[in-house]
């Protein structure tokens, strides 16, 4: 599972909202979350973390998307059509995530609540149930529009990877602290660090497939032993290789420029081979 899964949680302490009589505040995975007046300690429901996207069928079944009634007045839920869960301030208090009672999942699946509670106990993380998406990572739409001739199919060139298995390593996924607070014991020795927001960057001087010349390719076909690997610098974000020498399909990404290659080039010569 990942940090954008919905999690079945049981509500703990609930306190009054400082500036709204019909709202309450609870704490889920270390986040303050605003809930309705009917929420009680011990209630079980689904928690969607910030920057997750609520599945369309789930949102429709529970009337979570903003809409207008026949008179043009605002109706429906609290989410835009993109169904993005974001940190927001409600009457002066922050809500870092979204919680909804478990009967919402029962309504979506059209199954009895008792059956749903039995199949999805507390601490279960849910992304998909069969073909039904419950929660996923919110990915903003690109503002770039590619013009493609209407009578011509778009041809996508698939780049041949030069990466060798087990040579280059992406960063491992870090477990979400809030979901693992129960693992910290009174006598646990822990280190607390401060994460400063930025872009993940990996640089590696690793063994890759060599780009062979025409002659070298011919020699290989005749079973001549040709050196077909070499050491080279590979740059990546947390999940995407960024230098075009190894990924022809890479684009400028979120920042609009290839900051990974620019910084990686500055580090060339700094790493030992391997």
At residue 38, the pLDDT reads: 93
Q: Which of 31-35, 75-79, 140-144, 197-201 has the highest mean pLDDT?
A: 31-35
pLDDT band at 248 (very low <50, low <70, confident <90, very high): low
Alpha helices (H) in 21-165, listed in sequence order: 56-61, 103-109, 113-119
What does 179-247 look like in DSSP terms, one character per residue? GGGGG--TT-------PPP----EEEEEEEE----HHHHHHHHTT-----EEEEEEEE-SS-B--TTT-
- Residue matched to tokens 């075009």: 244
Q: Which residue has the higher pLDDT, 258 or 149?
A: 258
Mean pLDDT of 28-52: 94
Residue 252 confidence class, pLDDT cut points 50, 70, 90: low
Residues 6+ apart with CB under 8 A from 92: 18, 19
pLDDT more than 70, % of the chain: 89
Contact 233, 264 (CB under 8 A): yes
**What is the pLDDT, as a whole number, of residue 148?**
43
Please state, in angstroms and rounded to a whole number, the distance separating the CA atoms of residues 43 and 102: 8
Q: What is the mean pLDDT of the chain?
A: 86
Place of tokens 């929660």: 135
Q: Looking at 67-81, 152-166, 240-254, which range is the least confident one? A: 152-166
Closest CA to 140 of 77, 58, 80, 60: 80
Per residue in 67-123, pLDDT tens? 888 888 888 788 999 999 999 998 899 999 999 999 999 999 999 999 999 999 999
CA–centroid distance for 173 within its chain = 11
Residues 6+ apart with CB under 8 A from 31: 49, 50, 96, 97, 178
Closest C-alpha to 120, from 9, 271, 236: 9
Per-residue pLDDT tens for 194-227?
Answer: 877 777 889 999 999 998 899 998 998 898 999 9
pLDDT value of residue 157: 43
The structure tokens 């993005």 sit at 84
Residue 169 near residue 207, CB atoms below 8 Å: no
């Amino acid at each position: 599972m990942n940090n954008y899964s919905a999690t079945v949680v049981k509500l703990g302490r609930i306190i009054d909202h400082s500036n709204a009589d019909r709202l309450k505040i609870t704490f889920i995975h270390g986040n303050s979350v605003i809930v309705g007046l009917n929420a009680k300690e011990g209630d079980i429901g689904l928690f969607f973390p910030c920057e997750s996207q609520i599945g369309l069928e789930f949102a429709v079944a529970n009337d979570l998307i903003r809409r207008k009634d026949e008179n043009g007045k605002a109706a429906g839920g609290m989410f835009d059509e993109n169904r993005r869960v974001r940190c927001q301030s409600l009457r002066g208090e922050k809500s870092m995530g979204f919680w909804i009672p478990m009967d919402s999942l029962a309504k979506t699946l059209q199954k009895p609540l008792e059956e749903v509670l039995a199949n999805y106990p507390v601490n279960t993380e849910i992304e998909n149930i069969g073909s039904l998406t419950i929660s996923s990572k919110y990915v903003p739409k690109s503002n770039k529009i590619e013009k493609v001739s209407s009578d011509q199919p778009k041809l996508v060139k698939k780049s041949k990877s030069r990466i060798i298995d087990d040579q280059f390593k992406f960063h491992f996924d870090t477990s979400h602290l809030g979901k693992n607070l129960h693992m910290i014991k009174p006598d646990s020795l822990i280190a607390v660090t401060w994460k400063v927001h930025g872009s993940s960057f990996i640089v590696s001087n690793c063994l890759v497939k060599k780009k062979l010349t025409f002659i070298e390719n011919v020699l290989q076909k005749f079973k001549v032993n040709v050196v077909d690997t070499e050491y080279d610098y590979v740059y990546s974000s947390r999940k995407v290789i960024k230098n075009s020498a190894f990924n022809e399909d890479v684009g400028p990404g979120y920042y609009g420029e290839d900051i990974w290659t620019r910084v990686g080039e500055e580090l060339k010569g700094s790493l030992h081979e391997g």
